[in-house]
Structure 1
Amino acid sequence: MTIPLPVRIQAAVVRGAFALPEGLRRAIAGKPLVRDGQTLALDAQLILRLQQLSKAALVLPGGVEPSRAAMEYARHLVGGATLRTVTARAVGIPREQGETAATLYTPDGLAEGSGLLVYLHGGGWVVGSRASHDHVARFLAQRAHVRVLSVEYRLAPEHVFPAAAEDALAAFDYAHAKAADLGADPERIAIGGDSAGGNLAAVATQEAVRRGGPVPVFQLLLYPAADASTRRRSRELFVDGFFLTSADMDWFVDQYAPAPADRTDPRLSPLLAEDLTGLPPAYIGTAGFDPLRDEGEAYAQALREAGVAVRLSRQPDLIHGYANYIGIGHRFREATAEAAEALRKALAPGAA
């Protein structure tokens, strides 16, 4: 894909800002920001300042289509150069009507029978795609030494709840049934995602356990949406000014689960499931300056209380969506690398 010249120019400006000496970066970003006993990382504060100057937002005037276009555009600015040491091929996942498109990522030199991560991109169930998260999938594949199957699940408002959740479970079932075709070990298949994708991964895991049969061996949940029925303290602390806003979340949920959808349904709010026993181990990454922080951490606590092995890792100085920014600044990459390492260990041969 050829990136248009205006995008390349803007990407160069962003890279240039992050290459400046620390003093100049601080001058652009402003005084250190402290909230709830946490200090925002300079990398995070700088990207927020650049977004403010460019009037970037997750939900744009005009709604769905402009917001989708903006997310596709943004990955060229903050995602970094494409990792050419990871190859990609298209895969079709059959479903009742038609098929779900997916991309299989394979690091160069990875042997057959590797672990595999079924990956569900973020974007509030409304925006985002395999393309917008191509850099994230490649990074996880390379760092964790696994194959990654990135899924183009159906988006709202064209396909409302629970369509995306159904696609997530179907993708895991496909990966397990066709593991040999994908070059993977059927006993080492994890599921994961970021934000809304983390929600879908958690939901699909619960559904797999409830019905019996194949279950993911690990969950990789990055700043997941876990409860659409209530607002926790972090929604008030970080209501605005940190890219994802509380109003954005309201809009996303309204698109995905319009009335009369039950927002206490565990297929939308996995934190509210009556029984969390028997779920596979999980890594849950949260961000300190994120409206969704507290519900992700509440989900980690609920899993622990149900006897599930959980590693909760709050990145106290970062914002929601930190995995999307791995092409700029070291803190975003460092935090995402930690998640990739947890995945690598979970899917290593003999890890179970």
Structure 2
Amino acid sequence: MPNVLDQVRPMLEAAAVHGIFALPRPVRRLIAGSPIRLDDQELALDAQLLLKLQKLSGQEKLSAPTPELARAAMRRGTRINSAPIDGVVVADRQIPTEHGDLGARLYRPRELTGISPLLVFFHGGGWVIGDLDSHDDVCRFLAKHADVRVLSVDYRLAPEHRFPAALDDCLDAYRYAVDNAAELGTSSDAIAVGGDSAGGNMAAAVCQIAARSDLTDPAFQLLIYPATDATTSRPSRKLFRRGFLITEEDTTWFMDHYQPDESLRDDPRLSVLLTEDLSGLPPACVVTAGFDPLRDEGEAYAARLAEAGVPVISRRFPDLIHGFVNLRAIGTRFQEALFEIVGSLRAGLSLQKR
């Protein structure tokens, strides 16, 4: 019986969350409390309501006593996206590497039968948590609405596999996509890379490494609230250090698992912002959230790309929080932002065709 309850409880929790978000706006505002304003920004009601529910549930951090517990919590949170986006064909893949096969998942809009751009996507989760399922909804959404194929990569996680294992896997996955472009329904010059948070960090690193090697350059880079500097704590890290989904304690916990040696955190493969020369990199869309500890370093990276002559769309969603792309199913504001990101991806890829 306990096993049955364990299976049912997440579904009941997801139904309760959806029910609360479906309440009239005045009721949702009453539950969420007075508007939160910080750093000349006002938090979106959808985001504030989610944070209030998170606080009431006692789950105010992404970190946990062990990585296994943190991963389990993220899997439970994934149940919020209870109804998969339709119109998308999904197939599991295996990517061969010298460290063994990597799990992957290929997404294709059902109506898309010809050649299309491909986005190789690296999920977020601080290099410690997250998997193909945690970002299944995001990848379905990007594939369907950007009208592209998406290859999501299940790279190795820390602390079992520390830096640069995850990045090595992402590089292998990108190389696999280039080498097998025709079989994946794309061409080698129409492959973009992207990811959120830690995934955005590794997408940026893949672009940098490709530009300085014989690896084909990605056509575009989609960096969603990326981690870019593991050496410095910028103002947003302190300003939003707690109460906004990801905490300062979380960011420290993740990095201590991924690269515990502080003296090595200036490696530009990790702290991509510290790379001296950013010229010649693919066009980029850098997305940040106003109420996010990683906001300032993401925007600093966008500024440095622009200074180096790289075409950049730098977009801050001032009313949103870290992790909002995983929250599409419960709040209209999160979905609105995702649609705008899709527009930037489509625009960036279409420019590459000319």
Q: Same fold (TM over 0.5)?
A: yes
Alignment of 1:135 with 2:137, yes or no, is yes
Kindly indicate whether the alpha-carbon contact (under 8 Å) linking 2:63 and 2:253 is maintained by their aligned counterparts in 1.
no
Shift in Å at residue 101 of structure 1? 1.0
Change over 3 Å in CA distance of 1:350–1:156 after alignment to 2: closer
CA displacement at 1:97 relative to structure 2: 2.4
1:249-308 CA distance string (max 9 Å, x none): 011001000126611111110000011000000001100000000000000000001000
- Whether the aligned pair in 1 keeps the contact of 2:128 and 2:159 (CA below 8 Å) is yes
Q: CA deviation at 1:153?
A: 0.5
Structure 2 CA distance, aligned partners of 1:212 and 1:136?
A: 31
Give me the whole-angstrom Cα distance separating, in 2, the residues matched to 1:58 and 1:96. 35
Alignment check: 8 A CA contact 1:226 1:271 kept: yes
Q: What is the CA-CA distance between 1:121 and the residue it aligns to? A: 0.3
Taking the aligned partners of 1:212 and 1:37, their CA distance within structure 2 comes to 45
Asked if 2 retains the 8 angstrom alpha-carbon contact of 1:32 and 1:40, the reply is yes
Aligned to 2:40: 37
* Counterpart secondary structure, 2:46: helix
SS in 1 for 2:71: helix
Contact 1:284 1:296 in 2 (8 A): yes
Report the aligned-residue RMSD: 1.5
Is residue 305 from structure 1 mapped to residue 322 from structure 2 by the alignment? no
- Displacement of 1:231 after TM fit? 0.3
Per mean C-alpha deviation after superposition, the further-off stretch among 68-77 and 27-36 is 68-77
Q: Is the 8 A contact 1:235 1:292 kept in 2?
A: yes
**Within 2, Cα distance between the matches of 1:39 and 1:141?**
31
State the partner residue of 1:280. Answer: 282
- Cα distance in 2, alignment partners of residues 230 and 350 from structure 1: 34
Q: CA deviation at 1:117?
A: 0.2
Matched with 1:176 is 178
User: For the residues of structure 2 that align with 1:39 and 1:19, how far apart are their CA atoms?
Assistant: 21
Cross-structure match for 2:99: 97
* In 1, Cα distance between equivalents of 2:185 and 2:65: 43
SS of the aligned residue for 2:315 comes to strand
Residue 13 of structure 1, aligned match among 12, 16, 30: 16
* Matched positions, count: 350
Q: Equivalents in 1 of 2:351, 2:96: separation in Å? A: 29
Q: Check conservation: 1:190, 1:218, Cα contact below 8 A.
A: yes
Which position in structure 2 is the counterpart of 1:121? 123
Task: State the alpha-carbon separation in 1 of the partners of residues 86 and 14 from structure 2.
Answer: 19
Within-5 A mapping of 1:131-280: 131-259=133-261, 262-280=264-282
How far residue 61 of structure 1 moved from its aligned partner, in angstroms, is 3.8
Identical aligned pairs, as a percentage?
A: 53
CA contact (8 A) 1:80 1:135 kept: no
Is 1:72 the equivalent of 2:63?
Answer: no
Distance of 1:326 and 1:28 partners within structure 2: 20
Q: Take 2:157 and 2:329, find their aligned partners in 1: how far apart are those partners?
A: 26
Secondary structure at 1:181's aligned position in 2? coil
| Letter of the 1:256 counterpart | Y
User: How big is the shift at 1:350?
Assistant: 6.1
The CA distance in 2 between the partners of 1:333 and 1:112, in whole Å, is 27
- Secondary structure of 2:79 counterpart: helix
5+ residue gaps, structure 1: none
In structure 1, give the amino acid aligned to 2:18. Answer: R
| Unaligned residue ranges in structure 2 (runs of 5+) | none
CA displacement at 1:59 relative to structure 2: 3.3
Say which is worse superposed, 116-125 or 105-114, in terms of deviation: 105-114
The one of 45, 48, 52 equivalent to 1:49 is 52
Aligned residue type for 1:45: Q
Amino acid at match of 1:208: A
Q: Report the CA distance shift for 1:221/1:61 in structure 2 as closer, same or farther (over 3 A).
A: closer
Shift of 1:73: 1.1
**Pairs within 5 Å for 1:21-32:** 21-32=24-35
